[in-house]
Amino acid sequence: MRRHRFGLQLACVAITLFFGVPLYLIALAAFSSRESLDRFPLPLLPTDLSAETITTFLGSTGVVGGYLNSLMVGLSTVVLALVIGVPAGYALARHAFRGRDPYQLFLLLTRALPIVVLSVPLARIFLQTGLYDTTYAVTLLHTALALPTTVLITSAVFVGVPREHEEAAQVFGASPARAFARVVLPQALPGIAAVAMFTFVLSWNEVLGATILTLNQRTLPAHVLTTLSDSPLAYRFAGGLALILPAIVFVAVMRRYLLNMWGTTLR
């Protein structure tokens, strides 16, 4: 028993290191002076700290604006994808209707098309309707990209919530809507939180569509990606750190809702 526990602890430490060490290294490089990055062997402890590259990066035109745009797009995408996707997932889980299986397959088709193929015609439509170069345009694209997974994952989550609970609530006088909101939704919350994370990270990482649909009001990755890939190494570390931090914060906030997901039972 004791040996078993030790093995478990070891595995936990190994996995934490697997994800933590790259984060530490990129943070270290982002806060090191440019000269120290040229040194060999590279020091693995913070010996030569300097905020020069990261402040230059954060101070460059549009980085703060890009941050705000990315947050707006990411959160709006999460909200919009959940508002549309959760009812659709519920319907898929609870109701047998003709063509349900082809419909599920059909949902995935949007993901089968490359984003470039989608976004060029979209850019034309958005130009003509005046949506071009707004965060709304990017939100719509990202929602469309996220919906298939939102619908399919939430439907799988709703299948896991016993139908009897819902029926019991209705027996005690709850309307179907109330039964859904008070009984089903709380039990499905961990799954929905996972979907929200997935959607947010998808939107945060998406570059191609966002680049083509905007000009002056870009999301952060679209704004800096070309810049960073052509920049000296020091800036790539600074930019990389700036790009991953918000996603980590978002995951940390949503983590609480995940805890029950693989627990003994769905409460």
Residue ranges that bind another protein, judged by CB under 8 A: 38, 40, 56-57, 60-66, 68-69, 71-72, 75-76, 79-80, 116, 120, 123-124, 127-128, 132-136, 139, 211-212, 214-218, 223, 226-233, 235, 239, 253, 256
User: Please, what is the minimum distance in Å from the beta carbon of residue 230 to another protein?
Assistant: 4
User: Please, what is the minimum distance in Å from the beta carbon of residue 166 to another protein?
Assistant: 26
User: Please, what is the minimum distance in Å from the beta carbon of residue 65 to another protein?
Assistant: 4
Nearer to another protein, 92 or 213 (CB): 213
Sign of CA dihedral 223, 225, 226, 228: positive
For 18-40, b/e burial (b = at least 16 CB within 10 A) is eeeeeeeebbbbbbbbeebbeee
Helix ranges restricted to H, 160-219: 163-171, 176-179, 185-205, 208-213
CB 218 within 8 A of CB 210: yes
DSSP character string of 32-84: B-HHHHT-SSPPSS--SB--HHHHHHHHSTTHHHHHHHHHHHHHHHHHHHHHH
Nearer to another protein, 29 or 179 (CB): 29
Nearer to another protein, 103 or 133 (CB): 133
User: Please, what is the minimum distance in Å from the beta carbon of residue 146 to another protein?
Assistant: 14
Q: Which are the contacts of 159, defined by CB distance < 8 A and separation ≥ 6?
A: 93
Q: Name residue 216's amino acid.
A: N
Structure tokens at 115: 């984003």
Nearer to another protein, 83 or 168 (CB): 83
Nearer to another protein, 96 or 215 (CB): 215
User: Please, what is the minimum distance in Å from the beta carbon of residue 118 to another protein?
Assistant: 13
